[in-house]
Structure 1
Amino acid sequence: MPVADHDHDHDHEPDPFEERFADALRNTGTAFGADGTDRQDLAARGEAHGRRMRSRRRVAVAGTAAAVALVGLGGALLLPGGQGGGGRQQTAAASPPSPSLSPSAPTAPQAPMSADDIVRTLEKLLPEGGISSEGGHVTDHGSYAGAVYDDGRGKAAITVSLDRVQPGSREARQITQCPDKLFVAYDACTTTKLSDGSVLMLLKGYEYPNSRSGTKRWTAELVTPAGGHVGVQEWNAAAEKGSPVTRKQPPLDLGQLTALVTAHEWRTAADAMPLDKRSPAGPDTTPATPRGSISATLTALVPDGLKIVSKSPPDDDQFGYLVLDDGRGRSLVQVNVQPGMQDVEDQLFGSDAKVLPDGTKVALRKQSGDKGISGIVWWSVDTIRPDGLRVVISAFNSGAQNTPATREEPVLTMEQMEAIATDRTWLTLG
């Protein structure tokens, strides 16, 4: 479960390119103790996006968070079809086959496409219908824009984001990885490598990870060989949050969604964008199994006698989880390990934080989980060492943070969680 944002009703405000992974961790971390709703939703977005879904404010996991699998939340494919009336491109509604795309050649960096240009292009590429309520946001490294689209069967929000990531980087890979169902409720997700080397993810998901509102969010994420990143999202409502469902499904089927995200207009614009200076300088050379897997370390530190039902894969060096069972019900335990957090230490740890002899600060919290989940509670221990290494452990009284409680309390006591979070083994992972 992530650190709560200050105002979750505004977490859709576009800031898609300024908040890369490390920044997102810090930004959400500053709100760790904030009292807000939809914390599970933020967790889902952190896990599923952070690595992807830049079309909205990406909430990475900063405290007791779901994995930031750099994430909310990343198919079968289809090329755009013939031209329809009004200059709009028509797309087939059948199950989408893999498209044959021309490779995108990197060009000299160009200014990001304007929000107005995105909306005009979106209007041209969408099937026949009306466009209204346009809006967007542009930074030095990318563009975001959205509109309300109405094909006569109900208004629906559609957004497009464009930026560029380092080719071959971990971020480039993780943008198109399907999320872990332990954290994100979705109906289907597929990742496909296209003929030109681009990778496409298609996700049929929900605005909330437990799908409680009925608002569906379908996502397409494309990363080209040059690092161009195109993200498209659509909803079955006129807004992603705070708006009633207007139709049973989002307006574009998977074939149409694929046609839209793979359109050459977006690919050309994304490939020509400058790389964010904060992106890695070259391809990711991290081994498949990092020096110290978080889940493996957590496994070694939990008390004996607990059955490990499932665990996170050993390919993330900042997040890991275990689902434990002591015979009285399953309990999800998560750990985030974040180096270099000195700059937000004062925001994360107040005067009431416990200070250990070695200078480590410790904050303990017990609170309710997602308001939409029956009986779920969230316990967390947040720690930071003098060198800025932050280790946050959280536990729930359920085997997943978006399912009802399976027991009265988490499987670990606060004392056990503090012992795990302050163990010196974490120092060996950096």
Structure 2
Amino acid sequence: MHGNSAQRDQDAFEGELGAAIKQAGEGFSVTGRPLVDGGVVRGRRRTVLRRSAAVTGSVAALAVIGLGGSYVTGVGAQSKEDVGSAQEATGPVSPEQQVIRTLTALLPEAKLSEQPSPGTGSKAARKSAHASSASVVYDDGHGKAALSVSLSRQNPDQKLGEGELSCPDKNLSAFEHCSATTLKDGSRLVLFKGWEYPDRREETRLWSADLLTPEGYRVSLSEWNAPTEKGTPVSRPAPPLSTARMKALAQAEEWRPIVEALPEPAEPVREAPVPQGRSGDAILDELTGLLPDGLTVKASGKQETEYAYVVVDDGQGKSFVQINVQPGMSDVAADLFGSDAKVLADGTKVATEQGPGEKGGAGVKMRQVDTIRPDGLRVAISAFNAANQNEAATREEPALTLAELEKIATSTVWQS
């Protein structure tokens, strides 16, 4: 679309969308995606300090939580009118069809077609009675782009998990831009611009908007600069819809009737408390106190329990250091520590490793020490020659030696 035609399409979109967005709370949410990503999470038993890597593979996660499956069967490359009439001709309009029809009406003049199988939908489909989702390919003539929308309803009293409706920690997950705001009506909105893979191993961009209103109405949108979320080459420099348009689309009042028609969610289930390890705050305090002399802490972070990190500098450049402190790991000790593990006088097993970093940063090196005590307390710590695992190396070697890392991991402070 070029010249006057493109301008007409633009004007039509702005007018149509403007009328469509008078109401609806705002609240883009990274729900479900803990913003913290360094460390091994409870239930993750086999890897050392891998949580950062997990987050890397899906910060989209962070911005894409709640997006559902590809429910666009029967929607080929059609015009808005064709889509609407075809749906009505089939009889009752399902929630998924309503999502598609509304999405088609709110978008600029572009073709919407079914997303190819390698895309988001089939893998992450949430066929919950309390959600309605669709994944399509948006084509405005400048390159096909995957686009997903999910509408859901949750109990207003339901507590959000750690990091939900928040921006990720930039030391753990690379992204271009993120804003998380609470609107005047109490809605929460998160706008995110990043990559499908935060380590940039592929140039597939992921932009998203997530809105959660005080009533528990949620609108989650995501778009990519490729026909599918993963597995296909990029087709355009960036996703088609700007942050402002994504925000406006999430706020469109046309979504409200669809969400209101979803079954009312049940009361939140009160689960029995699960024993938890040491708090992230306590771990961060202990780690900071155990650092060798000559290191200045430039940044730090933690998750609710079991994990913390610091970015230190000894004058030679920044170095990322992360630690996990996990009780009750005796059941996996044999998997984590082989016969070649060093055994200390108190029975603590120690395994060391050094080599290339796990992520895609150029020249990144890692040093790692993993320990487990006879009572099952596992302390694993690693250091990198970069400020984070997603960027290129900033110095020749990590700021801490293997001996210094082992001294921290085997300190008696973790047993208190």
The residue matched to 1:186 in structure 2 has which SS? coil
C-alpha distance 178-412 of structure 1, shift in aligned 2 (>3 A): same
C-alpha distance 234-341 of structure 1, shift in aligned 2 (>3 A): farther
Letter in 1 for 2:324: N
1:125 corresponds in structure 2 to 103
Q: Distance in 2 between matches of 1:249 and 1:302?
A: 42
Answer yes or no: is the 8 Å Cα contact 2:49–2:381 preserved in 1: no
Answer yes or no: is the 8 Å Cα contact 1:132–1:149 preserved in 2: no
1:189 corresponds in structure 2 to 178
The residue matched to 1:416 in structure 2 has which SS? helix
Letter in 2 for 1:382: D
1:415 corresponds in structure 2 to 403
Deviation of 1:333 after TM superposition, in Å, equals: 0.5
2:81 corresponds in structure 1 to 86
Q: Distance in 2 between matches of 1:123 and 1:385?
A: 59
1:296 to 285, 309, 312: 285
1:317 corresponds in structure 2 to 305
2:10 corresponds in structure 1 to none
Residues 97-108 of structure 1: pairs in structure 2 closer than 5 A: none
1:406 corresponds in structure 2 to 394
Q: Distance in 1 between matches of 2:414 and 2:61?
A: 23
Deviations 1:190-246 (A, max 9, x none): 112134322110011122324453321112233343556553321111122331111
Q: Distance in 2 between matches of 1:18 and 1:353?
A: 35
Deviation of 1:131 after TM superposition, in Å, equals: 2.2
C-alpha distance 274-321 of structure 1, shift in aligned 2 (>3 A): same
Answer yes or no: is the 8 Å Cα contact 2:316–2:395 preserved in 1: yes
C-alpha distance 33-177 of structure 1, shift in aligned 2 (>3 A): closer
1:174 corresponds in structure 2 to 163
Answer yes or no: is the 8 Å Cα contact 2:176–2:194 preserved in 1: yes
2:198 corresponds in structure 1 to 209
Letter in 2 for 1:121: V
Residue 25 of structure 1 pairs with residue 41 of structure 2:
yes
Deviation of 1:20 after TM superposition, in Å, equals: 12
Residues 3-82 of structure 1: pairs in structure 2 closer than 5 A: 25-26=41-42, 28-32=44-48, 42-45=54-57, 48=59, 53-55=64-66
1:198 corresponds in structure 2 to 187
Q: Distance in 2 between matches of 1:21 and 1:334?
A: 12
5+ residue gaps, structure 1: 1-15, 58-83, 90-115
Q: Distance in 1 between matches of 2:140 and 2:228?
A: 15
The residue matched to 2:102 in structure 1 has which SS? helix
Residues 250-261 of structure 1: pairs in structure 2 closer than 5 A: 250-261=239-250
The residue matched to 2:396 in structure 1 has which SS? coil
Deviations 1:21-75 (A, max 9, x none): 99x82565435599xxxx97634357x5776643589xxxxxxxxxxxxxxxxxx
Residues 142-291 of structure 1: pairs in structure 2 closer than 5 A: 146-161=135-150, 162=152, 164=154, 167=157, 169=159, 171=161, 174-211=163-200, 213-225=202-214, 230-262=219-251, 263-264=255-256, 267-268=259-260, 272-274=264-266
Normalised to the residue count of structure 1, the TM-score between the two structures is 0.65
Residue 383 of structure 1 pairs with residue 371 of structure 2:
yes
Answer yes or no: is the 8 Å Cα contact 2:360–2:391 preserved in 1: no
5+ residue gaps, structure 2: 1-30, 69-78, 85-93
Deviations 1:255-278 (A, max 9, x none): 332244443257547884457858
Q: Distance in 2 between matches of 1:343 and 1:53?
A: 34
C-alpha distance 376-255 of structure 1, shift in aligned 2 (>3 A): same
Deviations 1:366-425 (A, max 9, x none): 231256422111222233445544332111011222222222221111122122123232
Q: Distance in 2 between matches of 1:252 and 1:356?
A: 58
The residue matched to 1:174 in structure 2 has which SS? coil
C-alpha distance 196-389 of structure 1, shift in aligned 2 (>3 A): farther
CA root-mean-square deviation: 4.3
Answer yes or no: is the 8 Å Cα contact 2:385–2:393 preserved in 1: yes
Answer yes or no: is the 8 Å Cα contact 2:280–2:307 preserved in 1: no
Higher Rg: 2
2:319 corresponds in structure 1 to 331
Q: Distance in 1 between matches of 2:323 and 2:129?
A: 31
Answer yes or no: is the 8 Å Cα contact 1:397–1:408 preserved in 2: yes
Letter in 2 for 1:322: V
2:382 corresponds in structure 1 to 394
* Higher mean C-alpha deviation, range 180-189 or range 205-214: 205-214
Answer yes or no: is the 8 Å Cα contact 1:333–1:396 preserved in 2: yes
Identity of aligned residues (%): 39
Deviations 1:287-321 (A, max 9, x none): xxx68433222110111221222222x67433322
Residues 321-360 of structure 1: pairs in structure 2 closer than 5 A: 321-342=309-330, 344-360=332-348
User: RCO greater where, 1 or 2, for CA within 8 Å and sep 6 or more?
Assistant: 2
Deviation of 1:357 after TM superposition, in Å, equals: 4.6
